[in-house]
A and B are shown apart, each in its own frame.
Chain A
Amino acid sequence: MSFLVPQFLWALFALIPLALVYLIKVHPVRKKTSAWFLWDGIFQERRAASLLQKLRDWLSLLLMILAFIFLILGLAQPVLQKDKEIKQLVLIVDTSLSMNAKGHLEAAKKAARVWIRSLPAGGRAAIFSISGELLSETGFTDNRRELMRGLDGIALTDMPFNAQLLNPFVRDKAKQDQQRIILFSDGCFADAKALPKGIEWEKVGSAFDNVGITTFDVRRVPGEDQPVGIFFRLFSGYSETTKVEVALSQGAPENLQRIFPVTLAPGLNDPIITTVPNGATGRWMLKLDPPDALARDNVAYAVVPEVHPIRVAVRAPKTLAFWQNCVEAFSEGTSGLQLVNDHPDLELFRGKVPSVSAPRVAIFAPQGSSPFWKKISGEPTEASVRVLSAEHPLMRYANLDGRVVGGVQKIVPPDQAVVLAETDSGIPLIYKTTQGNRTAYVINFDPAQNDFFLRPLYPVLIWSLATELMGLEEVDLVSTRPGGVLNLPSSFVEGVAQTTNQPPFNFSNQQIGPLRKMGFYTVTSGTNRMTVACSGAPLAEMQLNNKDVVASGSVSRKMSFPLSEIFLVIALLILTLECVLYHRRKVG
């Protein structure tokens, strides 16, 4: 037996004053009687009890001393050490979405507390939480209070459980013999049997039937009445069909758009797809009724982004109709093109380029002199395109490799130009260059030749270079699942993200995430502001019926047996006995 807080044993010295106080403690109340001889007769008959009477004070003192000793021993937290070799304990608490179910996290914390209390003397432990990421709540310490504080500080996330994160714990075989790794989880995660060996899993939490939204998306779809397409999919953990209502709202929860009465079959149900005419941009929310054990998967969030078309001006008077058709072909969608004359974001030129233009330009069949090239010479000829960088955003969708184009001239690009395609003889065909505050794509062929205007590649090339020049080529997602990372537009390099159920946090590198909680996030960077959504629950996390899930390598033994509670109970019992005796002494 060892003591976790041996300092309390010093309190045993308090027994001396306790005994002294007890010995000189209050005398019984003196009562005068005129019928002494009657009392004398009574107590003469009870002479046997008088021996106990005389010893009773000592018995009482003995009981008080025993109670005090057990109390001190209880406070000193003695433990019976069973496993002397293992000195280190890693306690990992599952904080994934399924642990949001009623009582699951509390059960996990309660189980972990038992382990902390049974930590042997000199033993150390560390607390981790795991969901889509592994977080250290405390370092290795023998301070139980710190461990308890770490345990109390564990917060739930909406991220799915990622068992792969446990691998580093079992990588070091030498450490495995000296430490035990205990996972406290409800087992509601994909492939519970795939937990790394060496992880002992203590199953916590009750089984529940659960209904939830596994997928929800809202997108703008083509149509004259500006419709949005709604897509969602529900899961039912019930063994029978269940009727639920799904409420679709826009902007605020009370702004209901649709209510879908749905009869759910057990398991994953077919997706429900519908459209809502005149769908507004911004926040969309789907809510499931009635509430159940896991509330987090009953609400889903989606965002329809604002439409910001790229304003494109065409400066090609002779072939204007082709250019207009090309631009209008991409007039719809998030990064659509809009044909304008004034204040364009992008100007498309055929031939010469004026010295003053929009900051972004694309020059087809360049002619004359310009800062965007050093020299143009020779007669226009036909040539085959050789793509140098196929993964470049400009080339990704417009595969020009091997195409024959006309109007190719010998051109010398500026020194810093990035050539994306060239002829077999090395004449640059497409390159990107920046001069001052202007960025330009120079396309060294004439789309009017070789029927290039008529090819589908032509509008795709225009859209690709427009989105690339605007920096929009990578940003097409405004929502992600819990644990996901969202790439933000280039105007959101760093800033602050806010949501309703967690404190604001900073982001940087044009990325936000991993997002731990489902909900809407308002992302602010300088004067720019946008909303993104985090939503969607994995099936494994929604399947709360964990009755049949068997904990592999389930915990069957403790490191030590805590005696403090037992000692405290014994002290309490002794004090109760003494109270009974005291009561008898006081009231007979």
Chain B
Amino acid sequence: MLTDPEFLRRLETLFLLTRKVLGGSLHADRRSTKKGSGINFADYAEYHLGDDYRHVDWNIYGRLGDLVVKLYELEEDVTVHLLVDCSPSMNPKSLFARQVAAALGYIALASHDCVSIYSVSEKLETLMRPTRGRSNVFKMLRTLEQAPLQGHSTDLLSCARALQQQVKRPGVCVLISDFLVPGGYEEAIKLLQWSRHDLFCIQTLTPSEIVCDWKGDVELECVESGERRKVTISSTEAAAYEKRFAEWNTDLKQFCARRGVGFIQAFSDLPFDQVVEVILRKGGLVA
């Protein structure tokens, strides 16, 4: 359960760990390339009518006779979009995915960032609209906890399109999925990148998915479509499956690397906080 005290205690521990890892305060500390009214000097600009003359650098004017204004880095909050795969294929690892999402959301809320949560399956569904503040932690956790597994397939591309339409302002986009999508994941990732989101992909898998220990007569059933087929799995078929699965994951990893997308592969038998710690240490997602 995501709302039980034990889980909350672990989240708090994780948050403290986050501060230790990243150092310093996290209060409104997400720097932006935009220039604005922050306290850190960024650049000079020619004075134009209407500029706040409190920012005029009178020393320059004294030395050079030109009116220039000081520009400061704009310190703005960011919206963390958590895209959680809620298709039936996530069934055995759904809790793990939600735990990771909850951890990241908790860190973001505690850092005064804005968090929004979306369910990804056949179509994109908004589970929690952009929410700010630590007081909304429970709301976020309940939302994640109650999110149902739905749909009969995973359509990442349509979900990416829907997100593009719904979210105009770029933010940090965390996609938590097994990425076992027959239609492919490439276009969806590209689309999210084109929307200027900082994209981070977390692939959640179970160890049993990597190794095939089914042997003999088996009736295979697709967890999403319910399609069935009676097959005999010998060591040849098992080896072919393991090979294809490994290739699929390798392609995903390489694709993300090529696109500059943060990627981590997490197995559901690992503690979620350990996974988040790895994410934090690798950087690029938080701070």
Interface residues of A (CB under 8 A from B): 27-39, 41-43, 46, 53, 56, 584-588
Contact = CB atoms under 8 A, between A and B. Distances in A.
B244 interface: yes
A42 B212 CA distance: 13
A41 B237 CA distance: 11
Contact of B232 (A27, A37, A584): A584
B168 interface: no
Nearest to A27: B219
Contact of A584 (B222, B223, B231, B234): B234
Contacts of A587: 215-216
**Interface hub of A28, A30, A32 (most chain B Cβ within 10 A):** A32
Contact of A38 (B92, B216, B230, B248): B248
Interface string B66-103: 00000000000000000000000111100000000000
A581 to B, nearest CB: 10
A588 B216 contact: yes
Given A38-B241, A38-B245, A588-B216, A32 B232 contact: no
Contacts of B227: 36
Kindly list the 3 A-B residue pairs having the minimum CB-CB distance in the complex, ordered from nearest. A588-B215, A36-B222, A28-B217
A3 to B, nearest CB: 38
Contacts of B233: 588
A30 B221 contact: yes
A53 B232 contact: yes
A56 B230 CA distance: 12
A586 B214 CA distance: 9
A31 B222 contact: no
Contacts of A38: 180, 241, 244-245, 248
B147 interface: no
Contact of B220 (A39, A41, A585, A588): A39
Interface in B220-256: 220-225, 227-235, 237-238, 240-241, 244-245, 248
Contacts of B228: 30
Contacts of A33: 220-223
Nearest to B239: A42
5 contacts: A34-B91, A35-B209, A46-B237, A587-B216, A588-B237
Nearest to A46: B237
B241 A29 contact: no
B65 interface: no
B5 interface: no
A38 B246 CA distance: 11
A43 B244 CA distance: 12
Given A38-B245, A53-B232, A31 B178 contact: no
Nearest to A28: B217
A28 B218 contact: yes
B62 interface: no
A585 to B, nearest CB: 4
B223 to A, nearest CB: 5
A53 B214 CA distance: 17
Given A33-B221, A33-B223, A584 B216 contact: yes
A33 B245 CA distance: 12
A279 to B, nearest CB: 84
A32 B245 contact: no
A28 B223 contact: no
B280 to A, nearest CB: 28
Contacts of B24: none
A579 to B, nearest CB: 13
B149 to A, nearest CB: 12
B222 A588 contact: no
A31 B219 contact: yes
B219 A34 contact: no
A41 B89 CA distance: 18
B23 interface: no
A34 B180 contact: yes
Contact of B241 (A35, A585, A586): A35
Contact of A31 (B218, B224, B245): B218
Contact of B224 (A30, A36, A43): A36
Nearest to A33: B220
Contact of B230 (A28, A34, A46, A588): A28
B182 interface: yes
A588 B214 CA distance: 8
B199 to A, nearest CB: 23
B241 A32 contact: no
Contact of B234 (A31, A35, A588): A588
A43 to B, nearest CB: 6
B217 A42 contact: no
Given A29-B217, A43-B231, A588-B237, 15 more contacts: A28-B230, A29-B214, A30-B219, A31-B220, A32-B221, A34-B89, A34-B209, A35-B245, A36-B223, A36-B225, A43-B237, A56-B232, A586-B217, A588-B215, A588-B232
